[in-house]
Amino acid sequence: MQQKQIFSLQGRVAAVAADHGHHFSKPTQERIILVEGHGVEGDAHAGPFVRHRYLARPGPACPISGRFT
């Protein structure tokens, strides 16, 4: 008989980051605003479609999965 595993996800936020441009790293911010269906307000990767350059080239209208809602 297979036993059911129960996982407890706990953690803490060490830092948040956002940037208006597509740069290698993003500067940390004191706070960010999460917008439902959009992502981090003011961030270059925010929006309803993939914003990562390597993913956007083959499918610029590809919806983002796993977005905070």
pLDDT band at 65 (very low <50, low <70, confident <90, very high): low
Q: Is 90 exceeded by the pLDDT of residue 3?
A: no
Residue matched to tokens 């605003």: 33
Tokens coding 24 = 């290698």
User: Could you read off the pLDDT of 6-47 as tens digits, one per residue?
Assistant: 888 889 999 999 998 888 889 999 999 999 888 899 998 888
| Cα pseudo-dihedral 52, 66, 31, 54, rounded to 10 | -10
